[in-house]
Amino acid sequence: MDFRRLGQSDLHIAPLMLGTNVFGWNVDEPTSFAILDAFADAGFNAIDTANTYSRWVPGHQGGESETIIGNWLKKCGKRDKLVIASKVGEDMGSGRGLKTSDILREAENSLRRLQTDRIDLYQTHFDDPNTAPDETLQAYAQLIAQGKVRAIGASNIGAARLQASLATSQRLGLARYESLQPRYNLYDRAAFERDFEPICRKERIGVIPYYSLAAGFLTGKYRSESDIGKSAARAPRIKDFFNARGLGILKALDGVAARHAATPAQVSLAWLMARPSVTAPIVSATSLGQLAEILKAVLIKLSGDDIVALDAASA
């Protein structure tokens, strides 16, 4: 399997990263364990979570996903073979924040839930415009010096803020963001390719996109208004893609999938993996069958004609 280096760090990850926001939400612990086992046994090594998963569920406090992963890590004995990524900055009850106290407190909480002594990739989940990059990056540097964090990354921050943070790291001699976790897929292309991709390629920043299958739209499961109605939770998001352009993307996916005896979901992920700037798309699964289908995406090698067809439909 082709492992890629994450930015300029010493972290090397397989071409797909497992997203775990569903753990403890609509996937229980035994099923989560089975998914994690199957993912690791297939040779993949990178797992993404966040302190806030799944605080949006009534009765949840946040940290449910990290707790399940921690219980699995204790049981499986594979910690040293894995890249564990988590995030900080989202509201955990006292508002969003990236001040020193926020980062140090939440890092300790995440380490405790994950039952590990280090987080391999610690990411800014959401920006904090009230805190200067200097303070945020110095807090991360403190965790790195203590051996509690190996590398840092960013997710939902603006391009200007990303550049300012990189400049701050260089000016102060601090660890820099080695990865970016943007919303990016065949449908959602413009913002990343216009504002972030040039920065990431120039600065050699790893890219680990979330929303890789556009809330399930790029699986081809949703083809009509009646299909949208089958999933009440996803309906508001799926409707955003259900237009002439979205249907054109599905048609192109169908054509490429037929040539490769693959599924639209597999082709969508193969397209992302073929992008020069992308390190590894983040994927999630709620069942072993779903995971098995997703992982087969790494076997697909798109031709130049395939990519042209997909690019044209999604441009």
Active site residues: 53
From the CB of residue 79, how many other CB atoms can be counted at a distance below 10 Å? 16
Report the distance separating Cα 149 and Cα 133, nearest Å: 18
> Distance between CA atoms of 293 and 264, rounded to whole angstroms?
11
Q: How far from 237 is each of 156, 181, 189, 226, CA to CA, in Å?
A: 18, 20, 16, 15
Q: Distance from CA of residue 62 to its chain's centroid?
A: 18
Q: Is 98 helix (H, G, I), strand (E, B) or coil?
A: coil
What DSSP string runs through 263-284?
Answer: -HHHHHHHHHHHSTT-S--EE-
Cα–Cα distance, 217 to 189 (Å, whole number): 15
